[in-house]
Structure 1
Amino acid sequence: MLIALGIATLSLAGCGRGTDPGTTSGTSGAQAVIDDKPATGTVELWAAGGDGEKLPEMFEKFKAENPDVTINMTQIPEADFLAKMSAALSAGQVPDLVYLFTEFTPTLLATGQFSPVPDGLVDGSKFFDFAWNTTKVEGTAYGVPWYTYGRMLYYRADHAKAAGVTPPTSWSELKPFLKGMQAQGIKKPLKLATTPFDAYTAMEFDWFAHQNGGGLISDDLSTWTIDSPQNIEALEFYSSLVTEGYADVDQGSQLDLTARFTTDNVAAAVIGPWFRGWLLDAQGEQWVNENLGVTALTTGNSGDKAAMVGGGNWAVPKEAKNPDAAWKFARWMAQPEQQVEWKKVFGNLPAVTAAWDDPAIAGDENLTPIREALEVGITIPLVANWNEVGLVIGTQIERVERGQATAEQALKEAQTQAVKIGVGS
């Protein structure tokens, strides 16, 4: 099998392809029903982020069942993916298959340049509700959920035990827990998603907002609600984690977190399940079993529960040359056994609920709090202009954490800018 790994810079003329008039591209609506015959031909796939590095292992398994298919994969840096994909769609020079992070999905689906999921390809009720909903535009699914995750609080269990503190599940328990970590000599023990201050910061804050009965957008996704009293109160608590010295305002990225976590620079971090895999690679199973703990921080002071979740979806552009094989690969990746295999390969968790019954997952006590969190999961606002508005919110949160504005001032400014930007269409 040929697996073509792309380079960091992508030439649309070289890697994308225009529409062949002799092929079916799904431009007139839903694709025809996808049969059960083996996939054939060449699939051009674009992949972003670290997932792409491990995907060839799944290609080999798919190839064993579909010997006449070839998958050429082009890797694109995550930071460049949204811009490059948008440009490719505008130029009509697209791959056959892409996977879209939850954070990118609303913006890209709003272009109208992706095909609906063919009738009968998958059963939407088999996925977590929030995962299936991220693929929809006005009730129609345009993607197949691939994996999901919950961002949990991973912590140094050895330090927690030495300090005699209980892993927190609520706001009221969080600061006492962090004080215990400080007593172990870790000056600013908490790592949040605040550097750089962007849409990921806003996504993390939205988690706290929901735990306080708030949220950044109305239930019908028509109106920004950024400066609500509940959100202001939530930002006061969220930013206090920095202003009161539990977390550093300049925290660095996830890329250096493993080293900081294992050298007593950070003792607790909000991150996804891949973090355990990073630590296993760096320190080995014994160190992880002795020193790593995980808890679901799901409950606000009012008792409202929410967890920050996300994932990835497979999507097929309308101008794809081989949509049949592309959809077949997406369907195959949604099978419970492949969902479990991907968890083993990369560490991301199944979007298909039945896969959680597999002994490899059901028997792992480290996944229990994550499974519970997925039941109260909230995603980003599923509107086209989220990335732009999220950046505005992240920038305003930085002002609060640096002492340049109050929570109320910052969110009122964010609301003003968000209203001007709108939700998109």
Structure 2
Amino acid sequence: MKIKTRKSIHLFCLLVLIVFISACSSSSKSSGAADENTITVWTMTKGLDEFVTEFEEESGVSVEVQAIPWENAHDKLLTAVASGKGPDVLQIGTTWVAEFAEAGTFLDLSDYITDYDNLSADNFYESAVETTKFEKQTIGIPWYVDTRALFYRTDILGDLGYPNGPSTWEDMIEASRQLADRGDDQYAIDLPATDPQFPFVLAWQFGWNYEVGEGAANFDHANFEEAMKLHHLFYDEGLSQTGEGKEFFQAFEDGSKPMFISGPWDIKTIKDRAPDIEGKWDVRLMPKAENNKSMMGGAHWTVFHNSDKVDQALDFINWMADPETQVKWYEANSELPANTVAWEDPILADDPMVSTFGEQLEATQPLPLIPEYERLGQELLNTLEQINRGGADIDKSLETYRNEVSRILGE
């Protein structure tokens, strides 16, 4: 009896073990198959999880989207780099490229591009492609782009003889002085005082360029100083308000600030927030000094350096870079296509305001592709704040800024 019971127990345990091994094997195979057909994507843009369902259906690849708020994204990426545990695909803003590329975050895509129809540099704006390069590597593929242009009230500027807006900075100064002379609390333009990119844009228009090898000496050039003095003129003469003042879109609607410089997203915002001035405002190219260059912004798709799903990741990026996909993304999110063929679609080509941004994108320049760029930009804003609001001497303040740049760059 005991022997029979012992044999029964042994047989039962053996059967349990076989079932367990079989289940583990089945689970392992199932999990592996799922893993092979699943990629993780980190993005700072809302709505991607619903948008990619078409790709999932076409490719059979599942896309796990994690949306990260911009304010948390930098620290999360740093943690991923430090741990080596990141997504397969991640979005990167153009101003973060150099910093994270230097840290080895991205896979070099140089040897993969020719294998995919939509990844060729010829498909995109030249300046956008420049922002994907770091030390001869291609670390990403342009996804969407943005730039800055001049929004203006056609009715108010038309009364001053500028129905198409001021085309040069000389015209801008003349028109602005007339606008400020209208009376108390009347200004000309709301300059982007908190945008670290704008001072660089202004300097480019005066013929200045940042040369990586020159370091702090870049900011000792006469045309850079000329641009900063122009910036100060608008505050010194009361053409632009020092301080926040009236709510931004209210000031544009009531005409107390009939011009501002911003990106394409504000087309929709004005239509939604200020419907009473429909037909009384427009967008034009940036005013010209030596040129009318603006900045090339936007975001890229990149592959995390140790992803084991490179093929699937690049299939996804190739799909996102397709002109048809890019038009659909614009329709869903109002973010401008990086693929120039997409701009031939009537939804973009037949909208004169959006087309203006498309034209401005042809006259853009990438921001300095150095890891320290954001610190240099923020420090320049602090310097201009001291000049414009604190009354600090321009020459002395710019000298102090150059010293600070030298310290930041470790010269």
Shorter-chain TM-score: which interval? 0.7 to 0.9
2:79 to 87, 90, 102: 87
Superposition TM-score, scaled by structure 1 size: 0.79
- Superposition deviation, residue 260 in structure 1: 4.4
Counterpart contact for 1:385–1:422, Cα < 8 Å: yes
Q: How many residues align?
A: 369
Question: Residue 253 of structure 2 contacts residue 277 of structure 2 at CA under 8 Å; is this kept in 1?
Answer: no
| Offset, 1:73 | 2.5
Give, in angstroms, the shift of residue 46 of structure 1: 1.9
1:101 touches 1:311 (CA, 8 Å); kept in 2? yes
State whether structure 2 residue 207 is matched by structure 1 residue 213: yes
Unaligned runs of 5+ in 1: 1-38
Distance 1:298 1:175, change over 3 A: closer
- In structure 2, give the amino acid aligned to 1:133: E
The 2-side partners of 1:71 and 1:370 are apart by 32
Give the secondary-structure state (helix, strand or coil) at the position aligned to 1:226. helix
Whether 1:159 aligns to 2:166 is no
Unpaired runs of 5+ residues, structure 2, are: 1-34
Question: Identity across aligned pairs (percent)?
Answer: 25
Aligned partner of 1:176 in structure 2 is: 174
Q: Higher helix fraction: Structure 1 or Structure 2? A: 2
Q: Matches of 1:78 and 1:381 in 2, distance apart?
A: 21
Describe the shift of the 1:176–1:55 C-alpha distance in structure 2 as closer, same or farther (beyond 3 A): farther
Give the Å deviation of 1:352: 1.6
Q: Distance in 2 between matches of 1:404 and 1:154?
A: 29
Choose the corresponding residue for 1:42, options 20, 38, 42: 38
| Separation in 1, partners of 2:55, 2:287 | 38
Q: From the superposition, tell whether residues 338 and 420 of structure 1 become closer, same or farther in structure 2 (CA, over 3 Å).
A: same
CA gap 1:115/1:399 in 2 versus in 1, 3 angstroms: same
Q: Please state how far the C-alpha of 1:127 moved relative to its aligned partner.
A: 1.1
Does the Cα contact within 8 Å between 1:260 and 1:266 map onto a contact in 2? yes
Q: Residue 292 and residue 55 in structure 1: after superposition, are their counterparts in 2 closer, same or farther (change >3 A)?
A: farther
The answer for the alignment partner of 1:192 in structure 2 is: 191
The aligned amino acid for 2:265 is W
Residue-by-residue CA offset, 1:305-346 (whole Å, 9 max, x unaligned):
322221111111113353333222211111111222222222
**Of 323, 342, 348, the match for 1:355:** 342
Q: Output aligned runs, 1:18-417, within 5 Å.
A: 41-48=37-44, 52-66=45-59, 68-117=60-109, 118-120=112-114, 121=116, 122-166=119-163, 167-182=165-180, 187-195=186-194, 200-201=195-196, 203-215=197-209, 217-218=210-211, 220=212, 223-224=215-216, 225-251=218-244, 257-264=248-255, 266-283=257-274, 287=276, 289-300=278-289, 303-417=290-404
Cα distance in 2 between the residues matched to 1:335 and 1:237: 42
| CA distance, structure 2, for counterparts of residue 259 and residue 330 of structure 1 | 40
| More moved, 229-238 vs 168-177 | 168-177
Counterpart residue identity of residue 155, structure 2:
D
Q: Is the 8 A contact 1:192 1:251 kept in 2?
A: no
SS at match of 1:340: helix
For 1:345 and 1:265, how far apart are their aligned partners in 2? 33
Alpha-carbon contact 1:227-1:408 (below 8 Å) kept: no
Is the contact made by 1:150 and 1:370 (CA closer than 8 Å) also made in structure 2? yes
Partner of 1:21: none
TM-score with structure 2 setting the length: 0.82
RMSD of equivalent CA atoms? 2.6
Q: Deviations over 1:88-113 (max 9, x none)?
A: 21122212222111122221111112
Change (3 A) 1:423 1:172: farther
Shift of 1:56: 3.6
SS in 2 for 1:314: strand
Kindly indicate whether the alpha-carbon contact (under 8 Å) linking 1:188 and 1:246 is maintained by their aligned counterparts in 2: yes
1:98-144 residue CA offsets vs partner (Å, 9 max, x unmatched): 21111222211111121012242311122111101111112221100
